[in-house]
Amino acid sequence: MGTPWDFSRLLPVSTVLFTCAGQRVDIVSAFRRAGATTVAADVNRLAPALYHADRYALVPRVDDPGYVASLRQLVEEHGAALVVPLTDLDQGILARARDELGALVLLPDAETVERLADKYLAHLLFEERGIPSPGTWLPGELPADAPFPLLVKARSGFGSRHIYPAANRAELEFFLRYTPVESIVQVQLAGEEFSIDVFCDLEGRCLNAIPRTMIESKGGESIKGMTIKDAALIEFARHISEQLRLVGPANIQCFREADGLQLVTDINSRFGGGFPLPLAAGGRYPELALALARGERPDPRLGEFREGIVMTRFFSDLSLTANGDGILEPLARAE
Q: Contact 39/70 with Cβ under 8 angstroms?
A: no
Amino acid at 182: E
Report DSSP letters for 34-61, one per residue.
TT-EEEEEES-TT-GGGGGSSEEEE---
Give backbone dihedrals phi and psi of 58, rounded to 5 degrees, phi first. -90, 135
Which CATH fold topology does 135-187 show? Answer: Dna Ligase; domain 1 (3.30.1490)
pLDDT at 215: 84
pLDDT at 14: 77
Domain ranges in the chain with CATH number 3.30.1490: 135-187
Amino acid at 91: Q
**Residue numbers in the chain where pLDDT is lower than 50:** 1, 335
Residue 171 exposure: Cα atoms within 13 Å on the Cβ side: 12
Per-residue pLDDT reduced to its tens digit, 119-170? 999 999 999 999 999 999 999 999 999 999 999 999 997 767 899 999 999 9
- Count the Cβ atoms, other than its own, within 10 Å of residue 212: 27
Walk across the sheet containing 221-226 and list its strands: 216-218, 221-226, 310-312
CA dihedral 69, 74, 75, 81 (to 10 degrees): -140
pLDDT at 1: 47
Report DSSP letters for 219-243, one per residue.
TTEEEEEEB---HHHHHHHHHHHHH
Q: Contact 62/94 with Cβ under 8 angstroms?
A: no
The CATH code belonging to domain 107-133+189-335 is 3.30.470.20
Give the angle 56-62-294 at the CA atoms, nearest 5°: 55
- d(CA 115, CA 120) in angstroms, rounded, equals 8
Specify whether domain 9-105 bears CATH 3.40.50.20: yes
Q: Contact 141/169 with Cβ under 8 angstroms?
A: no
Give the angle 150-155-156 at the CA atoms, nearest 5°: 140
- d(CA 111, CA 125) in angstroms, rounded, equals 10
Report the candidate in 31, 213, 201 with the shortest Cα–Cα distance to residue 106.
201
pLDDT at 13: 65
pLDDT at 242: 98
Domain ranges in the chain with CATH number 3.30.470.20: 107-133+189-335
pLDDT at 157: 77
Greatest extent of the chain over all pairs of C-alpha atoms, in Å: 67
- d(CA 114, CA 117) in angstroms, rounded, equals 5
